[in-house]
Every structure is written in structure tokens, then in C-alpha cells.
Structure 1
Amino acid sequence: MPVDGALAALPVEEAAPARRFYAWPGKRNYEGSYWFATTGRHVAHESLLEADYLMAADHGPAVVAVSSQPLIFLWPRRTTTGGRWHVPDFFVRLADGSGRLIDVRTPARVAGGEVQFAFTRQACQWAYEVFTGIPEPFRANLRWVSGFRHPRHSPSPGVAAALVEAFTPGTSMAAGLRRAARLFGSRAGGDGMSAVSGNLLHMLYRHRLRTDLNVPLTMSTHVEAEPAMAVAL
């Protein structure tokens, strides 16, 4: 039975974890924290698969905030074959104000959790998703560009303008980088190649430039400016 609708209005994205994260020698899961560029905060995770989810959510333009293990569902007695309680892995707040609960499971563990997933979906006041992984080569590409998500890789206005101009119209990554380096170098009075490479990957991660991350990234990959960025010039 769904819980009180007032829950949907709570800022769950600001919640602290509802339980502690324990580690012990020989534990199979890898615990850690992921620096979530969208909010500038570290978010705890209990496995590399959960870290993959955070990486994908951080890249997703619709996600504006996330919290880890933000609440606990307590099920009525004798209603589930498993435990009487469940802690979803993540809550994300979306740009339109709506929310989404996330459970992260390997494909092999999905079948065993179907009853629990159904209870969670019925009870929660938000959309609900069971995340099972990121397909390749999207995952490999996203891992590459996510390494440049930190603001230290954010381009200055001059470099950003040079990159947008270099990839308008779209061209290969190699050709665009050369053109951006020439443009920026001529404006800054120096060689701009070393400055623009990391900035390019940062702009791809933050959707200021775009390419198809579902195919392997190479220096021949076609990259273009987002229309809004090109118009802004």
C-alpha cells in the first residue's frame, strides 16, 4: 500500500544515509565515495556497480541531486519471503522537480529481488528503477570523459568559445582540437593545444559539446557543439 503522499515533497536528496556502511577483510564489494560534479559533493557507494550508477547519473542532464541509501521501508509481517526492511540504494532529484528511487543489482541478482522490487515500486511516491549496469562501449567512454568532470578542467570563457567555434560545424576530435588550439593560441598569444584537450573532455561530460558515446571514442570521432552553445556565440 502506498505511503503517505506527503513523503513525495520531502527533500530526500539532502538525506544522510539511513544506515552505516560496514567494511571487513575479504568483503567482496568495494566501498568508497564518488565525487558528484553536479552538486560538488561526495556520495557514498557500496560497490563498483553503484559507482557506475553515480557516474551515469552525474553525466545525465536531468539529474540535479542525489543521496545514498536515504530511507528505509519496513514491510508488514509475513508479506515478503526476505527481510522485513529494505534500504534503496539511491534517490535522485530531477530537473523537473520529480524524484526517482534507485536499486542497484547485478543482472544475476534481479530475479531474486523481484518481490522486494515490486513492494518498493508500489510503496514509493516517486518513479522507481532497478539499475543493472552500463553497456559497453558507453561505459568505457563515460569513464574516460568523467575523469575530467572536476571544475579544474572547466574551460575559461576564451577556451570555451574557441572549442565551440572549432566544432561548429561538427568535425573530428583531432581536427577540432587543432582548430581550437589555433583559435585560442592566436587570441591568447601562445600554443593552446595543452589547454584545450582536457577542456574538450570536460565539455563532453557536461553536454556543452556532444558526440555519440555508444561507439568507441577515438581522435576520429565526430564532435559538434550543442546548438544552444553555438547560438550563444
Structure 2
Amino acid sequence: MAPGWWWSATDGRLVRYGSGVMRTQVMLLDHDPEVVAVACRPVEFVWREPDGSCLEHAPHLMARLDDGSGLLVDCAGQEEVSRRLAHRAEVVAAAVASVGWRYRIARPPDPVLAANLSWLAGYRHPRYRGGALAGRVAEAFQRSRPLIEGVRGLGDPVEVLPVVFHALWNGALSAPLDAPLHERVTVTAARTVGRRQA
């Protein structure tokens, strides 16, 4: 996948990504309810090694969290991390821990989770919120039930499904995303109102 831009539902801004691996991690951060902002390479670390050489590293992503702290993320395209990245990760993790932030190397997510979130992300824009229908959607799923039953009880699936998918993206509804989404998946209304549901 070529470099591009991701429209973030979290803060309504475009976030640059340099690869498909990075795009997937931007999507995961955009879906995370603790994240309030996402940026691409906003900071670079420069330090001197014991042998006198100078090293630098710019983590791929930064997320501002709802508690005010930061999370720096490097995106690994595979489970195995190179020695080069592992060394830089140690230095960056120590530096950010000293100011109360976190650092992680994000490995590829489960393919089913990634596919489900990619589908739901297509409905992340507020235009799919559904106005008055959104409240009815939440009511329809107060009791856990198969997706299609709740949708058909609300009206035309062509009109209702985008609102349901938006609610699944923003956390107003929940479903197990570690298994393939399908019409019989069990959907439930969230017990608490999240920040993205307002």
C-alpha cells in the first residue's frame, strides 16, 4: 500500500501514514477510546552512544491519551523486531517513561480484528451517526441480539446498517471483533456513554 492520509474520527484531522502497516496502526489508534489525538512522526530523538556515535530515531506515530499522557508507537511489519529497532526502542522507552509517557512496538494485529475494524472504519464519519435513528439503534440493542434481528426491527437495512456500523465503530454498540462480523453476530448496546458517542 502506498503512503497516504487517514481521516481520523478521533479528532477530525488527517493523519499521514507511510505504509499499509502504519495505516493499520493509525486505524487501531483511531478506534481506541483512550486516544484523543493521533499524529505521524511528531518527535525525533537524538542521542550519543557510549562509543561516541550519534543516533536518531523518530517513532512512527504518537497518540495523545485522554489522561493527558502520550504514547509513541513504532509499527513493525512482522512479529520479529530487528536488532536495530530493538536498541532504539530501549532508548526511546526509557526517555518517554521519564516524563510519564509510554512507548510500544506495535506488531501486526490479528487479521480478523484488522478486517473487522477496516470494515467498520468505512462508517466512522459523523455522516453515518443517524440522527434520531441513533437513539433507536441503541434501544434496539439494549438486550443482546443478533445484528440482523435488531436491524430489521428498526426498518430498511440499507438505511439502518450504516448507523449500526457507525455505532460499532464509536463504541455505542459492541460486538466481538475477534471473530468475523456477519449478520448473526451478537450486538449489545454499550453500558456507558463514551466520548465518541456524543
Taking the aligned partners of 2:81 and 2:192, their CA distance within structure 1 comes to 40
Question: What amino acid sits opposite 2:173 in the alignment?
Answer: L
Taking the aligned partners of 1:218 and 1:108, their CA distance within structure 2 comes to 29
**Cα-Cα RMSD:** 1.8
Partner of 2:82: 111
- Between Structure 1 and Structure 2, the one with more strand by share is 2
CA deviation after TM superposition for structure 1 residue 80, in Å: 8.7
Partner of 1:198: 162
The percentage of aligned residue pairs carrying the same residue is 30
Which 4+ stretches in 1 moved above 4 angstroms? 77-81
Taking the aligned partners of 2:159 and 2:51, their CA distance within structure 1 comes to 59
CA deviation after TM superposition for structure 1 residue 79, in Å: 5.1
Task: Give the secondary structure class of the aligned counterpart of 2:183.
Answer: coil
Query: Which stretches in structure 1 are left out of the alignment for 5+ residues?
Result: 1-28, 182-191
CA contact (8 A) 1:34 1:42 kept: yes
* Residues 1:177 and 2:151 are matched in the alignment: yes
Residues 149 and 172 of structure 1: CA distance in aligned 2, closer, same or farther (over 3 Å): same
Deviation string 1:66-98 (CA, Å, 9 cap, x unpaired) is 1110111112145598x7211111111111111
Deviation string 1:20-44 (CA, Å, 9 cap, x unpaired) is xxxxxxxxx6211111111111100
Q: Using structure 2 for the length normalisation, give the TM-score.
A: 0.89
CA deviation after TM superposition for structure 1 residue 136, in Å: 2.1
* Residues 1:74 and 2:46 are matched in the alignment: yes
Q: 1:98 aligns with which of 65, 69, 82?
A: 69
Question: What amino acid sits opposite 1:92 in the alignment?
Answer: A
CA deviation after TM superposition for structure 1 residue 194, in Å: 2.5
CA contact (8 A) 1:62 1:95 kept: yes
Partner of 2:119: 144
Taking the aligned partners of 2:92 and 2:25, their CA distance within structure 1 comes to 19
CA contact (8 A) 1:34 1:51 kept: yes
CA contact (8 A) 1:80 1:115 kept: no
Query: Which stretches in structure 2 are left out of the alignment for 5+ residues?
Result: 194-198
Paired residue total? 189
* Residues 1:153 and 2:128 are matched in the alignment: yes
Question: What amino acid sits opposite 2:116 in the alignment?
Answer: N
Residues 69 and 109 of structure 1: CA distance in aligned 2, closer, same or farther (over 3 Å): farther
Taking the aligned partners of 1:199 and 1:87, their CA distance within structure 2 comes to 38
Taking the aligned partners of 1:116 and 1:40, their CA distance within structure 2 comes to 31
Partner of 2:93: 121
Question: Which structure: larger Rg?
Answer: 1
Q: Using structure 1 for the length normalisation, give the TM-score.
A: 0.76
Partner of 1:213: 177
Residues 228 and 77 of structure 1: CA distance in aligned 2, closer, same or farther (over 3 Å): closer
